[in-house]
Structure 1
Amino acid sequence: MVEKSRLRRTISKWANNSDQHARDLRAQYVGDGDVCIGEAVDRTLVTLKGTIRSLTVRPRGGVPALEAELYDGSGVITLVWLGRRRIAGIDPGRSMRVRGRIGVHEGVRIVYNPRYELMS
Structure 2
Amino acid sequence: MAKRSRAKYRGTIDSITVPPAAAAPSFSAVVLEHSAAGNADAAQAEVPPGPSSRRKPSGQRIRLIWIGQRQIAGISAGTDLEFEGMVSLVDGIPTIYNPRYEINCRQERT
TM-score, normalized by length of structure 2?
0.66
Change (3 A) 1:104 1:117: same
Q: RMSD over aligned Cα, in angstroms?
A: 1.4
Match of 2:13 in 1: 52
* 1:11-53 per-position Cα deviation (integer Å, ceiling 9, x unaligned): xxxxxxxxxxxxxxxxxxxxxxxxxxxxx43311100000001
The structure with the largest helix share of the pair is 1
After TM superposition, the runs of 4+ consecutive aligned structure 1 residues lying more than 6 A away are: none
TM-score, normalized by length of structure 1?
0.61
The structure with the largest strand share of the pair is 2
Identity %: 37
* Total equivalences in the alignment: 79
- Whose radius of gyration is greater, 1 or 2? 1
1:102 lines up with 2:90 in the alignment? no
| Structure 2 residue ranges without an equivalent (≥5) | 34-56, 106-110
| Structure 1 residue ranges without an equivalent (≥5) | 1-39
Counterparts of 1:53 and 1:69, CA distance in 2: 6
